[in-house]
A and B are shown apart, each in its own frame.
Chain A
Amino acid sequence: MTCAVRIRGLEKRFPRVQALRGVDLDIEQGEFFALLGPNGAGKTTLISILAGLTRATAGTAEVMGHDVVRHYRQARRNLGVVPQELVFDPFFTVRESLEFQAGYFGLKRDDAWIDELLSHLALLDKADTNTRRLSGGMKRRVLVAQALVHRPPVIVLDEPTAGVDVELRQSLWAFIHQLNARGHTILLTTHYLEEAETLCQRVAMLKEGHIVALDSTANLLQSGAERHLELVLDGELPDFLQARLRGREAGRYLLALPDYAELEGILAGLRQAGVGVRDLTVGKPDLESVFLKVMREAAP
Chain B
Amino acid sequence: MIGFWTLFKKEILRFWKVLLQTVAAPILTAFLYLLIFAHVLAAHVQVYPGVGYTAFLMPGLVMMSVLQNTFANASSSLIQSKITGNIVFVLLPPLSYLEFFMAYVLAALVRGLVIGVGVLMVGLLFVDLHLRHPLWILMFGVGAGVVFSCIGMMAGIWAEKFDHLAGVQNFFIMPLTFLSGVFYSIHSLPDFWQGMSRFNPVFYMIDGFRYGFFGVADVDPRLSLAVVVPTALVASLLTLWMLRAGYKLRH
Q: Which residues from chain A sit less than 8 Å from chain B, CB to CB? A: 14, 48, 51-55, 72-74, 76-77, 79, 81, 83, 85, 87-92, 96-97, 99-108, 146, 150
B89 contacts A146, C-beta separation under 8 Å: yes
A144 and B93 CA atoms in complex are apart in Å by 15
B 212-251 binary contact with A (CB < 8 Å = 1; else 0): 0000000000000000000000000000000000100011
B251 contacts A87, C-beta separation under 8 Å: no
A146 and B85 CA atoms in complex are apart in Å by 15
A77 contacts B94, C-beta separation under 8 Å: yes
B 93-128 binary contact with A (CB < 8 Å = 1; else 0): 111100000000000000000000000000000000
A87 contacts B84, C-beta separation under 8 Å: yes
B94 contacts A73, C-beta separation under 8 Å: yes
Chain A residues near B84: list those with CB within 8 A. 87-90
Q: A91-B13, A100-B10, A106-B3 are in contact. Are A53 and B88 (CB under 8 A)?
A: yes
Which of B14, B85, B92 sits near A52, CB closer than 8 Å? B92
Chain B residues near A106: list those with CB within 8 A. 1-3, 94
Chain B residues near A48: list those with CB within 8 A. 251
Which of A55, A77, A87, A102 sits near B86, CB closer than 8 Å? A87
B 1-22 binary contact with A (CB < 8 Å = 1; else 0): 1110111011001100110000
20 contacts between A and B (CB under 8 A): A51-B91, A51-B92, A52-B92, A53-B88, A54-B250, A73-B94, A73-B96, A79-B92, A83-B85, A85-B85, A87-B86, A90-B84, A91-B13, A92-B13, A100-B6, A103-B2, A103-B3, A103-B6, A104-B93, A105-B3
Chain B residues near A103: list those with CB within 8 A. 2-3, 5-7, 9
A52 and B251 CA atoms in complex are apart in Å by 9
B250 contacts A104, C-beta separation under 8 Å: no
**Is B166 at the interface (CB under 8 A from chain A)?**
no
Instruction: Give the shortest distance, in Å, between A93 (CB) and chain B (any CB).
Output: 11
Most buried by B among A76, A97, A104: A104
Instruction: Give the shortest distance, in Å, between A122 (CB) and chain B (any CB).
Output: 22
**Is B189 at the interface (CB under 8 A from chain A)?**
no
Chain A residues near B5: list those with CB within 8 A. 103
**Is B131 at the interface (CB under 8 A from chain A)?**
no
Which of B14, B92, B96, B246 sits near A81, CB closer than 8 Å? B92
Instruction: Give the shortest distance, in Å, between A76 (CB) and chain B (any CB).
Output: 4
B93 contacts A89, C-beta separation under 8 Å: no
Chain A residues near B1: list those with CB within 8 A. 106
Known A73-B94, A87-B85, A105-B3; further 12 A-B contacts with Cβ < 8 A: A14-B251, A48-B251, A55-B246, A73-B96, A96-B13, A100-B6, A101-B89, A101-B93, A102-B6, A104-B89, A146-B89, A150-B93
